[in-house]
Copies of this chain bind each other. A is one copy, B any other.
Amino acid sequence: MLNDHTQSISQDCGDCPIRHRAVCARCETDELARLEEIKYYRSFEAGQTVIWSGDRMDFVGSVVSGIATLTQTMEDGRTQMVGLLLPSDFVGRPGREGAAYDVVATTDMVMCCFRKKPFEDMMARTPHIAQRLLEMTLDELDAAREWMLVLGRKTAREKIASLLSIIARRDASLQLKGMDGPLIFDLPLTREAMADYLGLTLETVSRQVSALKRDGVIHLEGKRHVTVPDFARLLEEAGDDTDGGMLA
């Protein structure tokens, strides 16, 4: 079906990930050109809110660079992060009116957007887009459910290790690196954001990060620059075996 060639297209990736993520170039060059016509870019600064939960959302798009988070907040202020958007991740809900979550840029960020209406029209004309989007949504669903296990059943230490392993994995795949040898990356999240993702307090996050460092599972340079000498060890700490945990 579609998946077979999505890999190959990522070679001639332009500057807009949605191009080969949401559609398949081999099958529909005409439609691609049309998408090209209606796309536009939006930039956000670190800390800026992209949309508030419940707001009307008249575009869909994908992250080109930088990082954003999806969060939910209760009336009394308790907040839970429900998604982490890294470059190439899709944002938006074709067929839906409003946003379901707050979307906030945690670093400077660029998005490639399409107005929702034309995008939906195009989706109706181009079956592969809906199929590709279904694929991506299933991936996100898997990631969300994977995360439910983390939230519901893992200890604080395991939660931290799980988050680090997910970020490490995503980071490596963005840079087309393998998983062998030490992994080095920068944490894109504050301790507080990590806590919101993990259902912990920032103090507990800080303590457990320190503990993992003390035990040699990770090394830290400054607060954010992480080295993972042995990825298998990290996975073990996360309570994962050999699996392919995900993210969204």
Contact = CB atoms under 8 A, between A and B. Distances in A.
B70 A145 contact: yes
B149 A148 contact: no
A140 interface: yes
A199 B80 CA distance: 16
Interface stretch (A13-21, A92-100, A166-174): A92-100
Contacts of A127: 124, 127, 130
B149 A82 contact: yes
B151 A199 contact: yes
Given A127-B130, A130-B130, A131-B95, A80 B137 contact: no
Contacts of A137: 134, 137-138, 141
B153 A80 contact: yes
B151 A95 contact: no
A29 interface: no
A1 B95 CA distance: 9
Contacts of A130: 127, 130-131, 134
Nearest to A83: B145
A120 interface: yes
Contacts of A100: 142, 145
B144 A148 contact: yes
A153 B78 contact: yes
Contacts of A93: 138
A3 B124 CA distance: 13
B95 A3 contact: yes
Contacts of A149: 72, 74, 80, 82
Given A1-B95, A152-B198, 17 more contacts: A1-B124, A3-B95, A72-B145, A74-B239, A75-B239, A76-B239, A80-B152, A80-B153, A100-B145, A127-B127, A130-B134, A137-B141, A141-B144, A148-B148, A148-B151, A151-B151, A151-B199
Interface of A: 1, 3, 70, 72, 74-76, 78-80, 82-83, 93-96, 100-101, 120, 123-124, 127, 130-131, 133-135, 137-138, 140-142, 144-149, 151-154, 198-199, 239, 241
